[in-house]
Amino acid sequence: MLAGNTPVLVHNDGWNIDPAKSTAVMRGGPFGAMYYQQVPDSKGNVLWWSPDKADHGGSSWKVFRETATGLEWISDADQNGDFMQNKHKGEKGKFISFKDLKSVKVKGLGSALGGCK
């Protein structure tokens, strides 16, 4: 869904991410997961959302902040995309280096990550 010319996540019966409306898509990390980059928020933070296949404690998404060297876990989110406060996260997957991720080609999508392979 678009808000003006900006792709956004849709909040209906749970989050719905259209890979073609993400600004970049990558796969890899310790779990071989998919990561969907979203448009920067009002503070300039670039967030990446990854489906949580384990679904521990009601989590549907893992949310990461983009850094210069990779993705830093900031929160789990429920099926509606609401951040889950005080949810425990094990050490594995707290930081995912860009070296461990590969760009995924999605029709109609241009990667927003210069230099990532």
| DSSP, residue by residue, 54-109 | S-GGG--EEEEEE-SSEEEEEEEE-TT--EETT----STTSEEEGGGEEE---TT-
The whole-number average pLDDT for the span 62-90 is: 90
Residue 1 confidence class, pLDDT cut points 50, 70, 90: very low
Residue 40 has pLDDT above 60, yes or no: yes
Percent of the chain with pLDDT over 70: 76
The whole-number average pLDDT for the span 55-78 is: 90
The answer to whether the predicted template modeling score (pTM) of the entire model surpasses 0.85 is no
Residue with the bigger pLDDT between 112 and 18: it is 18
Residue 15 confidence class, pLDDT cut points 50, 70, 90: low
- The per-residue pLDDT for 114 is 40
Most confident region among 43-47, 82-86, 107-111 by mean pLDDT:
43-47
Residue 57 confidence class, pLDDT cut points 50, 70, 90: confident
Tokens for 68, please give them: 């210069």
